[in-house]
Amino acid sequence: MSRGITPSASGPLSSTEVNAPQIAIPNPLAVILSSSTRNSAEPGTTFTIGVTVSNRSGQSVIAQVFLDKLPVLLRQWCPVSQEYLALAPDQSGEVTFPIHIPLEALPANYSYAVVVDAPDQDYPPRLYHQYLQILPSSQEATSENDPTFVVQPLTTVGNPATCQRGEVLPIQVMVYNRSERVDRFRLRCPDLPQSWFSIEYPRDEEGVGLILAADSLRLNPGDNGQILLTIHPPFETRAGRYDPTIQLRSENDPNLGLLDIIYLQLLPTYTLQPAFQTIVGRVGGQAGIFEIRLGNEGNTDREIELETKDTEEGDLCTCTLSPNPVTVVPQTTGLAHLRVKPNKWWRRPWFGGGKVINLRVVLRDRHQHPLPNDVLQGVLMWSPRPWWQVWPLILLAVGGIGLILYALWWWLLKPPVLPSIAEFFAEDSQYAAADGDIVRVGWTIADPERIRSLRIVGRSPDGMVSSGPLDYE
């Protein structure tokens, strides 16, 4: 299938593009560039971009290599901006893109991208962000009557001026009028937005006691004067290297090109404000929900890795963080969602206010940049069980206690069992009372072991004692 990206129309690269796309699919094409990310060249020279591509896959690949986001001038100077390479497995190939810089080219900074793609494969394209700086020509002839200027402080590629965020960088431009005519000079900075800088000229004196604000520097023949250029990058400017060009324009000779480059390094500020916010902090059988907010108040991208756990309970809870790591661009707030679910149901409390689970989130910067606070703490409340789970247990406990009390009463407090006559009978149902026969009787006594003594008394129906008593021990 055909897929990929095609060269776009000319224009600057946006600040959101990176050197290589962050795509999970592996790309077996290895790429080596002959140039670094930032390059420089002088007018009248040819700058060559070399790209070597190696096919590390097990099949043949047709690689498309092209320059993307080319500015208009670079597109005019580069006759070929796209090439193809047919690569067998484990084969390498190289393409070159020459950029012919004309002699009349003015100092400027250009950005573009080198893209390596395989349109017929599912490989993700590789994108490399590049910069090209056109330096002032070293072959320019300067007449002894031409004006000149000197910039203080002096900056070079290896020794740029440094500036912290929120600070200003004052630059003094000393102008020398070596011509034989009165001239006016104006300073321009075409590479920077107007909000980045301000220019202050010496005030003109018109007559006695009248001072007017000036929009240029007026110099008599042989005189010199100073123009104050103040660079004040906006607070939200990203840290990095900036090489703006300054141009001095002569009113008498508008075609005279007086140029210089200021090399500026805006220093990084690593200001990060992490916060732990509770969304659902009291749970029963569901998961608690929290948010980790990372406010990047600095001027560099931050990549923060997160690690979370419950501090006191070991593996009592299962913690899930998404996304992780978190990339936060300057002046924005990164957000990570944390879900914490207790996974040992038998440890859920039965009564009371619930179980407090202390949480910790450890922050770690992938590039070892400083963090004001690398540990965030939070609390998850595990609610007690609902009443419909507790009441059956309460009833069961009450019933068990009742049975225990009854057993104790039965064995310890029950009244003693009294012996009783279970059966009383005559051994012979026939006898002759008139003949003086003796009636033999028998009886059965329940619990005889409780009897200490036995007395037998015979009584008539009217209650009179007719025989006995007979005592047995």
Instruction: Transcribe 365-392 into DSSP letters.
Output: ETT----S--EEEEEEEEPPPPHHHHHH
Over the stretch 181-214, which tens digit does the pLDDT of each residue have? 899 999 999 888 999 999 999 886 655 555 566 7
As a whole number of angstroms, the distance between CA 348 and CA 339 comes to 18
As a whole number of angstroms, the distance between CA 329 and CA 301 comes to 5
3-state secondary structure string across 95-158 = EEEEEECCCCCCCEEEEEEEEEECCCCCCCCEEEEEEEEECCCCCCCCCCCCCEEEEECCCCCC
Q: What is the pTM of this model?
A: 0.56
**From the CB of residue 63, how many other CB atoms can be counted at a distance below 10 Å?**
25
Confidence (pLDDT) at 21: 35
DSSP state of 197: E
HSE of 202 in the Cβ direction (CA atoms, 13 Å)?
Answer: 16
Confidence (pLDDT) at 121: 81
Q: Are 202 and 219 in contact (CB under 8 A)?
A: no
DSSP state of 441: E
As a whole number of angstroms, the distance between CA 50 and CA 313 comes to 58
Q: Which domains does the chain have, with CATH numbers?
A: 29-134 (2.60.40.10), 148-266 (2.60.40.10), 272-382 (2.60.40.10), 420-472 (no CATH)
Bridge partners (DSSP) of residue 186 are 249
Which pair of tokens denotes residue 381? 């409340």
Q: Are 194 and 229 in contact (CB under 8 A)?
A: no
Confidence (pLDDT) at 212: 61
- Phi, psi dihedral angles at 239 (to 5 degrees): -70, 150
As a whole number of angstroms, the distance between CA 360 and CA 377 comes to 5
pLDDT in tens, the chain (473 residues): 334 444 443 333 333 333 333 333 457 888 999 888 888 888 889 999 999 999 888 888 999 999 998 988 899 999 999 999 999 988 999 999 999 999 888 878 888 999 999 888 877 788 898 888 888 765 454 567 788 899 999 888 888 999 998 899 999 999 999 888 899 999 999 888 999 999 999 886 655 555 566 788 999 998 999 999 999 999 889 998 888 889 999 998 888 778 888 989 999 999 999 999 888 878 887 888 899 999 999 999 999 999 886 665 567 778 888 888 899 999 899 999 998 888 776 667 766 667 778 888 899 998 899 988 888 888 888 777 665 556 676 777 888 888 888 788 777 766 666 677 767 776 666 655 555 566 677 777 777 777 777 777 777 777 777 677 777 77
Q: Considering only CA atoms, which of 91, 97, 83, 100 is closest in space to residue 60? A: 91
Q: Considering only CA atoms, which of 349, 336, 332 is closest in space to residue 283? A: 349
As a whole number of angstroms, the distance between CA 42 and CA 134 comes to 6
Confidence (pLDDT) at 41: 87
Report helix, strand and coil shares of the chain as percent, to nearest 5: 10, 45, 45
As a whole number of angstroms, the distance between CA 377 and CA 326 comes to 18
As a whole number of angstroms, the distance between CA 169 and CA 353 comes to 60
- 38-41/126-134 β-pairing: parallel
On the 0-12 / 13-18 / 19+ scale of CB atoms within 10 A, 347 is exposed
Confidence (pLDDT) at 16: 33
Rg, the chain, Cα only: 51
Confidence (pLDDT) at 433: 55
Confidence (pLDDT) at 1: 37
Q: Are 30 and 60 in contact (CB under 8 A)?
A: no
As a whole number of angstroms, the distance between CA 191 and CA 111 comes to 13
Q: Are 416 and 429 in contact (CB under 8 A)?
A: no
As a whole number of angstroms, the distance between CA 132 and CA 35 comes to 10
Which pair of tokens denotes residue 326? 């978190």
Cβ-count burial 149-165 (b if 16+ within 10 Å, e if not): bebeeebeeeebbebeb
Q: What SS3 class is residue 30?
A: strand
Q: Considering only CA atoms, which of 39, 58, 61 is closest in space to residue 49? A: 39
As a whole number of angstroms, the distance between CA 418 and CA 452 comes to 12
- Phi, psi dihedral angles at 137 (to 5 degrees): -70, 135
- 183-188/169-176 β-pairing: unpaired
Supply the DSSP string of 298-360, one letter for each residue: SSS-EEEEEEEEESSSTTSEEEEEESSSEEE-TTEEEEEEEEEEE--GGGS-SSTT-EEEEEE
Q: Are 260 and 106 in contact (CB under 8 A)?
A: no
Which pair of tokens denotes residue 182? 């009165």
Q: Are 188 and 173 in contact (CB under 8 A)?
A: no
Over the stretch 364-405, which tens digit does the pLDDT of each residue have? 998 899 988 888 888 888 777 665 556 676 777 888 888 888
Beta strand spans in 9-81 (E):
29-33, 38-41, 46-55, 61-68
Confidence (pLDDT) at 341: 84
| % of residues, the chain, pLDDT over 90 | 27
Confidence (pLDDT) at 139: 47
Provide CB contacts within 8 A for 368, sequence distance 6+.
Answer: none
